[in-house]
Structure 1
């Protein structure tokens, strides 16, 4: 796994935390100097400027919605005071948070969007196992993405993490990423979610999704979660063309078991591909 890709995953997964260069370098497995130089060279932007821009861009998006007051938002995104947040926000966007909230127009500022993690060279796949699941009810956060630029997914998982284990009716500790509603233009919906027994008392900001009974080919994703697109690509390009089963028009699932470590991005990841039969 490319260490720059690990850095991108860590930044998006901790965009609300006060992370520093040393934190990112440690997860990436290289020295701060090497990471800083390589990131700037390959991505065209200094690493910590990107970190700061992503954090403030996500804060700006939240300011356009009814939500926490500016001080609470400042604390949530890693600033110790209203003044520190205002200073950083003005340096980034040339407008204060108060002025921006009054206008509420994201088109008036230059947001720093998530850089999409590139697919790695296609990995070797172990033969899948096949499972048929009964109907399931999922509850979580849903966002809309372009297939070519799904860089915001780690940030979506970060937003959903506070709900894990705290949703009424949750069945078990397993978390899921559900890819569905693919259209001809290459857009899709992605839900970070858990299975529930019912959705009668879920928080109003969450959505529910009913999955029908479906047969799946189940693959183990090896290595870091930032490389999951490469495993999807290997399934689509190398396995499906010669498989004795046909793909079904149903959601793809990412399954994150209890072995998955959200701090390291390793362990316990499965990809579930719907098939006919």
Structure 2
């Protein structure tokens, strides 16, 4: 079972117990940061939001089935007061617990258990470790939600318009992710190769650190399948964990920006996991 699958199983089997992100991460064999990134990527939602939604869905079903004491339902969902439960329940479903007990769950958007489609694609070449010195990148940055990443190719088009000089190496930078699936993406060039960085470009300082470098040889549109495999299969089976630092995509002369073929390196910041 994949690490994300282990986390989902643990949530489903322990949702009626006190649960923290660290507990779920430990069950999956990952750090909390690694699990947060992986879970968001594989499911489209955060661990905390999914757990809350599953607990409140179970509570709504109990109420619809005639549960008499709302406070007991609240306690079973992890809330210590009637008021806190009612507030969370109303925010989740747009209905009060009392109304759902009277009218049932028709019309509610219940959070169903997620079953993952095991579709990650393994690297043909074995990933390698690389220790890099600090360097700076500069380019076109944009904040994305989990639904807006389709706009990333437009950032590269803008970069190419504003800096048409061919660059031997360029980087895609993914950083500052949040629990709602938001992240910053910068289509960038090494700042040392740009004599005069445009004022509206964003600069990103990449610290000296260790990266796991993996080769994605397929079309660029399928890069997430390789990324999923690294986070969900390769790293959990190694003694490495994902570090809280920017992820990088490194493009060189092998990549054809017109067709999207040729391959790209995925650089994941890693650190040794405690034993």
Q: TM-score, normalised by structure 1?
A: 0.52
List alignment gaps of at least 5 residues for structure 1.
1-118
CA displacement at 1:264 relative to structure 2: 1.1
Q: Distance in 1 between matches of 2:254 and 2:191?
A: 20
By how many angstroms is 1:222 displaced?
1.6
Instruction: Give 5+ residue unaligned stretches, structure 2.
Output: 1-116
Q: 1:120 to 1:226 in 2, by over 3 A?
A: farther
Q: How many residues align?
A: 155
How many Å apart are 1:120 and its aligned residue? 9.7
The residue aligned with 2:121 is 123
After superposition, the Cα gap between the structure-2 partners of 1:236 and 1:204, relative to the gap in structure 1 and judged at 3 Å, is: same
Q: Deviations over 1:145-197 (max 9, x none)?
A: 11344110111111111244649xxxx62010000011122110000001122
Mark the CA change 1:143 to 1:132 in structure 2 (over 3 Å): closer, same or farther: same
Deviation digits for residues 98-155 of structure 1 (CA, Å, limit 9, x no counterpart):
xxxxxxxxxxxxxxxxxxxxx9932122321110111111010100111344110111
Q: Does 1:225 align with 2:220?
A: yes
| Contact 1:253–1:272 (CA under 8 A) maintained in structure 2 | yes
Distance 1:240 1:124, change over 3 A: same
Report 1:1-277 matches (<5 A). Answer: 121-125=119-123, 126-164=125-163, 166=165, 173-197=168-192, 201-276=196-271
Name segments (4+ residues, structure 1) moved above 6 Å. none
State whether residues 165 and 173 of structure 1, in contact with CA within 8 Å, keep that contact through their aligned partners in structure 2: no
* Counterpart secondary structure, 1:147: coil
TM-score for both structures, normalised by structure 2: 0.52
